[in-house]
Amino acid sequence: TVLALSFAGYAAFKLKGSKGVSYAAFFGGLANSEAAVSSLCRVADPTLVVMLANAAMLVRNLFIVAALASRSSPAALSPALLALGASVALAYVAYRIAARREQPESGWVAGVDMRPISFGLAVKSTALFGLTLFFSAFAALSLGDAGVLAASVLGGLVSSATVIFSVVNLASSGYVAWSAAATAILLSTAAAVANKILYAWPSLSGEGRLKLVVQQLVFLAPLLVAAALQLWAAA
């Protein structure tokens, strides 16, 4: 996925400049937001790339949860649906504000070391994927329900969609409570939003980093509040 998105970002950059990379960030975020950010931060404003990739990921997760809830337990998953919907709405508002302030492409495209494919990035991403999946499985097997929640955070660092399918399957089979499944969905999505800060951090400095953090905290707020309420209710 990283190699494909790296090449897609290169092609979009050559054809449409920064605007093309924005399209690649959003549609890449639908497939794998981590890979999209890793591949595209080097060719466009990292703050914009993260915003679009996370927005796409939130939309995708909302539709996945809505589809699964309709066939399982809509009431139990409603906190996750409401929080995801709120985050999607905030992402849309953030995009509209950013679009009004869009500046001519210059700083991020000038002097960029554009390569069609980054094999080093692909190797690092694959290694991170394997390690995260290993520790996620270990936490779930060792700690039970608490392990599922811990694993959802770790798994969200790699693929929140995979976590969603996994916890809904566990809840449907009776291995975890539906409330725990809803909390796991919220935590994994929150982790998937927050981890983009780490991916984009090296490409930014000063005000850019502050803007990135504030933007993602806005996206995170509904997810974290809903997760906290779920945990409090279960205590």
83 domain-assigned: yes
Q: Is residue 113 predicted with pLDDT exceeding 50?
A: no
Q: Is residue 110 predicted with pLDDT exceeding 50?
A: no
Q: Which amino acid is at 111?
A: G
pLDDT value for 204: 87
pLDDT value for 98: 80
96 domain-assigned: yes
DSSP characters over the chain: -HHHHHHHHHHHHHHHTHHHHHHHHHHHHHHHHHHHHHHHTTTS-HHHHHHHHHHHHHHHHHHHHHHHHHTS-HHHHHHHHHHHHHHHHHHHHHHHHHHHT---S-TTTTT----S--HHHHHHHHHHHHHHHHHHHHHHHHHHHHHHHHHHHHHHTT-HHHHHHHHHHHHHTTSS-HHHHHHHHHHHHHHHHHHHHHHHGGG--THHHHHHHHHHHHHHHHHHHHHHHHHHHH-
What band does 14 get if pLDDT is binned at 50, 70 and 90? low
109 domain-assigned: no
14-27 mean pLDDT: 66
Tokens of 228: 């906290």
Q: Is residue 187 predicted with pLDDT exceeding 90?
A: yes
Percent of the chain with pLDDT over 90: 32
CA-based torsion, 96, 99, 101, 107: positive or negative: positive
126-152 mean pLDDT: 73
pLDDT value for 85: 97
pTM of the model: 0.81
27 domain-assigned: no
pLDDT value for 219: 95
CA 159 to chain centre: 8
* Number of folded domains that form the chain: 1
195 domain-assigned: yes
pLDDT value for 6: 47
20 domain-assigned: no
What band does 166 get if pLDDT is binned at 50, 70 and 90? confident
152-180 mean pLDDT: 86
173 domain-assigned: yes
**pLDDT, tens digit, 9 for 90 and up, residues 32-80:** 787 778 777 777 788 988 999 999 899 999 999 999 998 888 889 999 9
Mean pLDDT of all residues in the chain? 79
Weakest-pLDDT range from 28-37, 102-111, 192-201: 102-111
82 domain-assigned: yes
pLDDT value for 115: 46
Q: Give the domain extent around 81.
A: 50-101+129-234
